[in-house]
Structure 1
């Protein structure tokens, strides 16, 4: 139905593709807990440094696109949408997104070849890319980078290990693939 709308009503041309999108925070976190200090003195921890990895994955093929940003906000999401649109210029992209404020901002200018499909609120388990983040972070679990640059190197190495076949195995849920085959996407 969404593909029909995009082709017949909006007048889009190209191959219709379904992608799942999400962001994840990558960084070093200060371990919180109790610390003995003088009465009335609040303990201070090191500043956490972090960045966000935005990504899309196609369940039917395992094709993916990732990009690093400093924040999770509508400005970064707008840039990401523009990058995705430019990366897949000959495709109509139906992109499953969660209901984060960055995805619903009124000032977003959705590229012409992208149609956002909002998943139910508070239901991350309905988005297969959540499993990609879980698999991705498992490989970083015991790494102890000294700084943000070293973490970025580890992240890029991990992304290179995640081939299309690996991603397809993680996100190619039977019911999604069956629905896509029936929808002829």
Structure 2
């Protein structure tokens, strides 16, 4: 709508918005990856993610590097014995291996207009499924990340 300067336009259209969240972890030394899609970003969904991850990788000891989101640190979280959280300092996404993966993924989606949330989900899943371990390794396996993980486990 076009209005006079200083006059806020009032419209009768309410834009429908939807969202979804991809929870994921990557192994920066091999490029292996694990993802799950959820409708919310909260403790319950994160616990479900941890349960799925813990079942899939039950034969190995696993470190999960993450930010200090409140749902990551919920006191009620039940961490499997073979999964250990490592919390990054505040405002340091460059230290989180998976953040390296999200950058090009978001870049591929930018300026696209999808007709539905399901179409966007399909495209995100296509991008994620198309990533080879070699591509993930090249994006996430930076020397300083690998060295930090090694020092944390020694």
Query: TM-score when scaled to structure 1?
Result: 0.73
Q: Is 1:122 aligned to residue 122 of structure 2?
A: no
Unaligned runs of 5+ in 1: 1-34
Superposition deviation, residue 58 in structure 1 = 0.7
Q: Cα–Cα, structure 1 residues 114 and 144, in superposed 2: closer, same or farther, change >3 Å?
A: same
Any conservation in 1 of the 2:24–2:35 contact (CA below 8 Å)? yes
Q: Would you say 1:90 and 2:96 are equivalent positions?
A: no
Return the alpha-carbon distance in structure 2 between the equivalents of residues 86 and 136 of structure 1.
27
Per-residue deviation, 1:180: 4.9
1:48 aligns with 2:35: no
Partner of 2:49 in structure 1? Answer: 80
Which SS does the other structure have where 1:67 is aligned? strand
Structure with more strand by fraction: 1
1:102 and 1:124, CA in 2 relative to 1: closer, same or farther beyond 3 A?
same
- Tell me how far apart the structure 2 counterparts of residues 122 and 180 of structure 1 sit (CA, whole Å): 18
Instruction: Note the aligned Cα RMSD (angstroms).
Output: 2.3
Match of 1:57 in 2: 26
CA change 1:184–1:114 in 2 (3 A) is closer
In the TM superposition, what whole-angstrom CA distance separates every residue of 1:50-80 from its partner, at most 9, and x where no partner exists? 1001000011001000110001000100000
The size of the alignment, in residue pairs, is 151
Name 2:120's counterpart in structure 1: 151
How far is 1:151 from its partner?
1.2
* Unaligned ranges ≥5, structure 2: none
Residue aligning to 1:136: 105
Spell out the pairing of 1:102-113 with structure 2 (5 A cutoff). 102-113=71-82
Seen in structure 2, the aligned counterparts of structure 1 residues 183 and 116 have a Cα distance that, compared at 3 Å, is closer
Partners of 2:77 and 2:130 lie apart in 1 by 33
CA distance in 2, matches of 1:36, 1:184: 60
Cα displacement (A) at 1:161: 1.7
- TM-score of the superposed pair, with normalisation by structure 2: 0.86
